[in-house]
Amino acid sequence: MTEHHRLSGVFAPVLTPMRDDLSPDTERFVALCKSLLEDGCHGLVLFGTTSEANSLGLDERIALTEAVVDAGVSPEVLMVGTGLCALPETVRLTRHAVALGCAGTLMLPPFYYKGMSDEGLYRAFAEVFDRVADDRLRVYLYHFPKISAVPIGLDLIERLRASHGDVVAGIKDSSGDWANTSALLERFPGFGVFTGTETLMLASLRGGGPGCISATANINAAGLRELYDNWQTDDADVIDARVRAVRRAAETKPTIPGLKAVLARQLGDAGWLNLRPPLVGLDAAQQAELFAELEAAGYRLTRAAAE
Amino acid sequence: MTEHHRLSGVFAPVLTPMRDDLSPDTERFVALCKSLLEDGCHGLVLFGTTSEANSLGLDERIALTEAVVDAGVSPEVLMVGTGLCALPETVRLTRHAVALGCAGTLMLPPFYYKGMSDEGLYRAFAEVFDRVADDRLRVYLYHFPKISAVPIGLDLIERLRASHGDVVAGIKDSSGDWANTSALLERFPGFGVFTGTETLMLASLRGGGPGCISATANINAAGLRELYDNWQTDDADVIDARVRAVRRAAETKPTIPGLKAVLARQLGDAGWLNLRPPLVGLDAAQQAELFAELEAAGYRLTRAAAE
């Protein structure tokens, strides 16, 4: 195994803009990636749940990834979602991300079949790792039981780490369950346990975690970065409370449509409202309610023109 | 809308054989397709849940479908599974099946996002139908709440039928819940409501249903055909009891590994034991238990050489 860039900090699972014909809007996507990094994100997840990743085709994912790298974003700050149900597609996407030099891949388990044994999930991941067969591969397992409905338990992680070493670099723990996150941090010191929400970031940083990958980073990158930068200071709890208030406000509406509505409003760009079905946009009243909640939480809906 | 072949009878969701390197075994697949039709199936579903469909790549599905048609199986008896999470892939597979002349497509909803509204699921299906834009398209919606975790309710079906007419030809109801199947039959007379198990076939035929699409047809095509052919005779309940006994025996072990083990035994071909992870094969003791259960249910594990 070669020594490799270790990911830490605030990561945004980047929203994927769609044109009116529902094709991915490469220009808006690249622009958002750059502005999120300028606003404070340490890195980006291309094709997480928030990105509508599973509604995208393979060719679309590949083209978007290449466009971001071609536009000058360093692949060393990119974690690319590559876990699909189908073995050959997962291998193809993962190889592509590794070949581009992306620092990590975020890998869902094959999520169609439910109730699979740890033995089956172990073989599924191991088969992908072995086929990719590249010592630059760094995988972050994607644990999101409420959506994937295929949880990734601690014994499975232990077995994968034992057989594949540094390839198994970490996990995105989107359980939202501190008991699970703290168990991961305690059992696997040094493992890259990203929380799936900033509301658990402070506790996880205090427990040795590397940071968070949170949907809300798409609209509050600066706030999350401030929390990350100050977690060891006396200001941490005050900043944490501000960040939580914004998160609570955002959670009053469905996440992805809500975040896209905020970007559309901030950027004065209705193109950001498009979503691929089965997601459905907020109506005008829902948008107004969301904006009011956010402003009440101290969130700025207008951006300075210079930004 | 043009008049179109109406599907009915016993359909097998064909098991997909894998070579030792886990690539799909085209020769064994074609041979199974042919033998299932000879044994009594009216038609075949390529790429249902039993087929490990969601573990297959797009190119693999396309190649297998073409191989079956090239080998002389009429596309008029084929229903092809084409529903994926990703919009462009679902459209591509569906167009391919329609262009080949396949009589129907079996379409899962986009199954990654959970808890979507009927509005969102409506838009997802309608978007696919509108993009395929071929009046030969006949879609069977795939309702399998225990596995897909995205149910397809009656109001959604009504709306899709109202907007897209004959394109929405039927449903595979894999709920296993007679209350749901009977509600479908009553509310939508003439709709192609296939049951996902032969244990509900007799009741559904009596209620106007077209037949069943059942995993067990892979090993008991003749038995299911006998039940279908005799459903209006005095023998129906006796045949039904025999068929149910085999089904109960098969259900004592995980379905897909169990069915593959039975084929491997019957054909004397250990190649049939291969599975793509996350599925895991039965061990020798589990196989022996399954075979004993089946024999106790009157099932013949040996085949005449002529077959």
% of chain B at pLDDT higher than 70? 97
Q: Which residues pair with B193 in a beta bridge?
A: B171
Could you give the residue ranges of the DSSP H alpha helices within chain A?
26-39, 58-70, 87-99, 118-132, 145-148, 154-164, 178-187, 201-206, 217-229, 236-250, 255-267, 284-296
Q: Report the residue of B89, B118, B283 to disrupt the A interface, i.e. the one with the largest count of A CBs within 10 Å.
A: B89
To the nearest 10 degrees (0 to 180), the angle between helices A26-39 and A217-229 is 20
Q: Report the residue of A22, A54, A112, A119 to disrupt the B interface, i.e. the one with the largest count of B CBs within 10 Å.
A: A112
Element (H, E) at B160: helix B154-164
Nearest 5 degrees, angle CA B250-CA B255-CA B257?
110
Name the CATH superfamily, with its identifier, for domain A9-220: Aldolase class I (3.20.20.70)
- The predicted model scores a pTM of 0.96
A to B CB pairs, distance under 8 Å: 119
CB atoms within 10 A of CB B120: 22
Judge: B87–A22 Cβ closer than 8 Å, yes or no: yes
The domain locations on chain A are: 9-220
The residue from B16, B82, B105, B142 that is catalytic is B142
Judge: B148–A110 Cβ closer than 8 Å, yes or no: no
Tell me which chain B residues have a C-beta less than 8 angstroms from the C-beta of A92: 57
What does each C-alpha distance from B190 to A153, A290, A303, B208, B232 come to in angstroms?
46, 45, 57, 7, 19
What does each C-alpha distance from A206 to A185, A243, B65, B250 come to in angstroms?
10, 17, 54, 52
Rounded Cα gap, residues A260 and A218, in angstroms: 9
**Exposed (0-12), middle (13-18) or buried (19+): which is B250, by Cβ within 10 Å?**
buried
Rounded Cα gap, residues A289 and A254, in angstroms: 12
Residue type, B234: D
Of the candidates B55, B109, B127, the beta carbon closest to that of A87 is on: B55
What pLDDT digit, counting tens, does each position of B154-183 carry?
A: 999 999 999 999 999 999 999 999 999 999
Element (H, E) at A81: strand A78-81
Judge: B149–A58 Cβ closer than 8 Å, yes or no: no
Tell me which chain B residues have a C-beta less than 8 angstroms from the C-beta of A89: 57-58
Q: What is the mean pLDDT of residues B128-147?
A: 98
Q: Are the beta carbons of B231 and B205 closer than 8 angstroms?
A: yes
Longest dimension (CA), chain B: 54
Cis check for the bond before A278: say yes or no (omega within 30 of 0).
Answer: yes
Does B52 have pLDDT greater than 70?
Answer: yes
What pLDDT digit, counting tens, does each position of B186-216 carry?
A: 999 999 999 999 999 999 999 999 999 999 9
Catalytic residues of A: 49, 112, 142, 172
What pLDDT digit, counting tens, does each position of A76-116 carry?
A: 999 999 999 999 999 999 999 999 999 999 999 999 999 99
> B302 pLDDT band (50/70/90 cuts)?
confident
Does B5 have pLDDT greater than 80?
Answer: no
Rounded Cα gap, residues B288 and B273, in angstroms: 14
Q: From chain A, which residues contact B within 8 Å (Cβ)?
A: 22, 49, 54-60, 85-89, 92, 109-114, 116-117, 119-124, 127, 146-149, 276-280
Judge: A279–B112 Cβ closer than 8 Å, yes or no: no
Q: What is the mean pLDDT of residues A125-134?
A: 98
CB atoms within 10 A of CB B234: 7
Q: Where are the beta strands (DSSP E) in chain B?
A: 9-13, 43-46, 78-81, 104-107, 139-143, 168-173, 192-195, 211-213
**What tokens does B103 get?**
């009589």
**Exposed (0-12), middle (13-18) or buried (19+): which is B62, by Cβ within 10 Å?**
middle
Three-state secondary-structure class, residue B22: coil
Q: What is the mean pLDDT of residues A180-189?
A: 98
Q: What is the mean pLDDT of residues B285-289?
A: 98
Chain B nearest CA to A282, separation (Å): 12
**Exposed (0-12), middle (13-18) or buried (19+): which is A20, by Cβ within 10 Å?**
exposed
**Of the candidates B203, B222, B223, B224, the residue with the CA atom closest to the CA atom of residue B213:** B224
Q: What is the pLDDT of residue B6?
A: 83
ipTM of the complex in this document: 0.96
**What tokens does B37 get?**
């039709």
Q: Are the beta carbons of A155 and A188 closer than 8 angstroms?
A: no
Of the candidates B57, B113, B148, the beta carbon closest to that of A89 is on: B57
Judge: B88–A59 Cβ closer than 8 Å, yes or no: yes
Q: Are the beta carbons of A96 and B246 closer than 8 angstroms?
A: no
Judge: A88–B123 Cβ closer than 8 Å, yes or no: no
- The answer to whether residue B90 is catalytic is no
B233: left (phi over 0), alpha (psi -120 to 50) or beta: beta
Q: What is the pLDDT of residue A302?
A: 87
Tell me which chain A residues have a C-beta less than 8 angstroms from the C-beta of B57: 86-89, 92
Three-state secondary-structure class, residue A47: coil
Judge: A86–B117 Cβ closer than 8 Å, yes or no: no
- The answer to whether residue B140 is catalytic is no
Q: What is the mean pLDDT of residues B273-283?
A: 98
Three-state secondary-structure class, residue B283: coil
Tell me which chain B residues have a C-beta less than 8 angstroms from the C-beta of A119: 280
What pLDDT digit, counting tens, does each position of A219-276 carry?
A: 999 999 999 999 999 999 999 999 999 999 999 999 999 999 999 999 999 999 999 9
Three-state secondary-structure class, residue B214: coil
Tell me which chain A residues have a C-beta less than 8 angstroms from the C-beta of B160: none
To the nearest 10 degrees (0 to 180), the angle between helices A154-164 and A178-187 is 30
Q: What is the pLDDT of residue A304?
A: 56
What is the C-alpha R_g of chain B? 18
What pLDDT digit, counting tens, does each position of B23-32 carry?
A: 999 999 999 9
Rounded Cα gap, residues B134 and B124, in angstroms: 17
Judge: A280–B149 Cβ closer than 8 Å, yes or no: no
Q: Tokens 């009440």 sit at which residue?
A: A296
B95: left (phi over 0), alpha (psi -120 to 50) or beta: alpha
Q: Which residues contact B259 (CB under 8 A, 6 or more apart)?
A: B15, B50, B215, B216, B218, B219, B250
Does A2 have pLDDT greater than 70?
Answer: no
**3-class secondary structure for A161-208?**
HHHHHHHEEEEEECCCCHHHHHHHHHHCCCCEEEECCHHHHHHHHHCC
Q: Tokens 């106007």 sit at which residue?
A: B208
Asked if CATH classification 3.40.720.10 holds for the domain at B9-221, the reply, yes or no, is no
